[in-house]
Amino acid sequence: MRELLENQRSRFERDFFLRLGRTSLKSAPPLLKEATLYALSGANKRIRPILALETARLAGLEDNRALAIAAAFECLHSYSLVHDDLPAMDNDDMRRGQPSCHKKYGESTAILVGDLLQGLAFELLSLAELQPKAMNYFARAIAAQGMVSGQYLDMQQQPSSVKRLHRLKTGRLIEAALNLPLLTAQGGLSLATVRWGRGLGMLFQITDDIIDATSDSVTLGKTAGKDAEQNKKTFVSELGLGQAKLAAEKLAMQLANTSSTLFASSPLLQQLPKYLLERKA
């Protein structure tokens, strides 16, 4: 499984920074450009672009369009991390094994880096020649019906469902990374792949919460125990560590069983639930 992931990750990495060099990023002020590239670097799993590349392969989407979509998801995800780490949000000093963007370049620059990355995501998608339906799907996944609303709920002290919070904050982008190439190639979405992507996003978050509660900062590449320190609503805080592990195991099994039919020609997607369940960082 690691080899399958590494092959797709390497394919993405070879193209990604060259592709960025052909975007409007080349016109950014030098320090802003440097800070933006810094935010995209560091120890990085690239799960979202890998998902996009794999389903693009399954759907027969042309390489150039597939790589543009994958790059857009990485820019969008990185923007969310830069803003997530800000003092007004999670106030985290580490990300991807290095100082957070605002710790290295200052808070105001980090805010602008996030803004720039969001703009680059849409620029990259425009180069992939997405239909309006696909652009709309992407936009909804990141804004009021997705990631931004999830982050807002995460910041509030008001009661909210931990499943809903993380389905929006984390799950929608993972769901979209899996499904946007399918929508682009086929002109429509299967409810089965949407549900599978939603479940994968939930599994990713449950395991993320478990790792945050049990790992160390060096392994994680970010500050360990931050959720508990800030009294964040997580699957571990809601269910307890033991029940959270059981929930992750059950969900991983369900996803693996479904994937054998849904993604019969993708060993990567078939093995991904088990990989996420067993990951340490």
Query: Which pLDDT tens digit goes with each residue over 20-45?
Result: 999 999 999 999 999 999 999 987 88
What lies within 8 Å, CB to CB, of 128 at 6+ separation is: 64, 65, 68, 69, 72, 184
What lies within 8 Å, CB to CB, of 4 at 6+ separation is: 267, 268, 271
Query: Which pLDDT tens digit goes with each residue over 176-222?
Result: 999 999 999 999 999 999 999 999 999 999 999 999 999 887 777 77
pLDDT band at 226 (very low <50, low <70, confident <90, very high): confident
CB–CB of 43/97 below 8 Å? yes
* Degrees, nearest 5: CA angle 114-118-119: 120
Specify the DSSP class assigned to residue 131.
Answer: -
The domain in which residue 217 lies consists of 2-278
Tokens of 225: 């125990």
Report the C-alpha gap between 270 and 148 in whole angstroms: 30
| Residue 148 CB neighbour total at 10 angstroms | 16
Query: Which pLDDT tens digit goes with each residue over 79-128?
Result: 999 999 999 999 999 998 899 999 999 999 999 999 999 999 999 999 89
The 3-state DSSP class for residue 94 equals strand
Query: Which pLDDT tens digit goes with each residue over 38-79?
Result: 999 987 889 999 999 999 999 999 999 999 999 999 999 999
CATH number, domain of 183, equals 1.10.600.10
Q: How many domains does the chain have?
A: 1
Cα dihedral 211, 213, 215, 218 in deg (nearest 10): 100
pLDDT for the residue numbered 49: 97
Q: Is the pLDDT of residue 227 over 80?
A: no
DSSP letter for each residue of 60-77 = T--HHHHHHHHHHHHHHH
* H helix intervals, 106-190: 107-127, 132-142, 147-155, 162-166, 172-186
pLDDT for the residue numbered 229: 77
Cα dihedral 99, 67, 251, 233 in deg (nearest 10): 30
98 phi and psi angles, rounded to 5 deg: -145, 165
The tokens 């680059």 sit on which residue? 120
Report the C-alpha gap between 83 and 253 in whole angstroms: 33
Work out the burial of residue 266: count CB atoms within 10 Å of its CB; fewer than 13 is exposed, 13-18 middle, 19 or more buried: middle
